[in-house]
Amino acid sequence: MQVKDKDDMKACVKKGYPVMKHIENIALPNGLRLDVWDASRRIAADTTKVELVIKMKVPFASAHFDAEDHYLKTRRVFGPEGTYEYRKERTFVNNADTDRVFAELLGDFKRDALPYLVREDFPRRFSRSKYREIVNNWYQYRHLFENG
């Protein structure tokens, strides 16, 4: 899979067929920016799997953590930023209804999840959740911290 114009990310292309189509960017008041993608695809002649994908980069900052060591461990595993991702799909949608169903999924996201993402403390909470992921699933990341 290749990405056309990485900064603009208009569509991801695989073997000439669009995989994800970029719909919009939403700038949030807490300084974050999320991308809305349409990953819908036909599954039969008359039906489509409608899929909404939301992605957002969340930079890690030392102020988000209780200790400097937590910050450093999180950056070591995930890099300088983490990715928040939200996916919602509906299968076997009649082709005539795909736009309406996608708009419904996006409307549900904006009504239910967006108020949480715009909160001023979302980056801190997200960063801490990534650290908790390392602590709770240490065995998946131990190779990054072993000496030798």
pLDDT digits (tens, 9 = 90+) for 4-43: 444 444 455 555 555 899 999 999 999 999 999 999 999 9
Q: Is residue 69 part of a domain?
A: yes
In a domain, 148, yes or no: no
Residue 121 lies in a domain: yes
The confidence band for 3, taking pLDDT boundaries of 50, 70 and 90, is very low
Query: pLDDT tens digits for 66-81?
Result: 999 999 999 999 999 9
Q: Give me the domain span that covers residue 120.
A: 2-143
- Asked if 54 and 35 touch (Cβ cutoff 8 Å), the reply is yes
Query: In this structure, is residue 77 part of a structural domain?
Result: yes
Question: Looking at the whole model, is its pTM more than 0.95?
Answer: no
Return the closest-CA partner of residue 106 out of 43, 33, 52: 52
Write the pLDDT tens digit of every residue in 77-123. Answer: 999 999 999 999 999 999 999 999 999 999 999 999 999 999 999 99
One-character DSSP codes across 25-67: EEE-TTS-EEEEEE--EESSSSEEEEEEEEEEEEE--GGGSSS
The answer on pLDDT for 142 being more than 50 is yes
Q: Which of 58, 63, 24, 19 is nearest to 42 (CA)?
A: 19
Q: How many domains does the chain have?
A: 1
Closest CA to 130 of 56, 63, 70, 67: 70
Residue 31: what residue type? G
How many Cα neighbours within 13 Å face the side chain of 67? Answer: 5
